[in-house]
Amino acid sequence: MAARKRPLPARFKIQISSLEADVAFCNALITFAGQIPETVYQRAEIRVYRTLERALRERLEAARQEARERMEKFSA
């Protein structure tokens, strides 16, 4: 008998969507701050946004991995 597919729990969908939006927002902030910063403040600001974006991407990948693992459990 084939395993029935169960939908991903809502909390995982929300978390992944939220993290994706946060990453996109950081990317927009980096673009807004300028690709060629003119001041020390702008360089620091871009560095902070890039660090934040990297951390959010790591969290997003962890959330996606957890979601995949849960889906494998449900379909097994």
Q: What is residue 7's predicted lDDT score, i.e. its pLDDT?
A: 61
Taking the C-alpha atoms of residue 55 and residue 70, their distance in angstroms, rounded to an integer, is 23
3-class DSSP state of 61: helix
Q: What is residue 68's predicted lDDT score, i.e. its pLDDT?
A: 86
Taking the C-alpha atoms of residue 8 and residue 56, their distance in angstroms, rounded to an integer, is 21
Give the closest residue to 48 by CA, choosing from 30, 23, 61.
30
pLDDT digits (tens, 9 = 90+) for 30-59: 888 877 778 898 889 899 999 999 999 999
Residue 32 burial class via C-beta count within 10 angstroms: exposed 0-12, middle 13-18, buried 19 and up: exposed
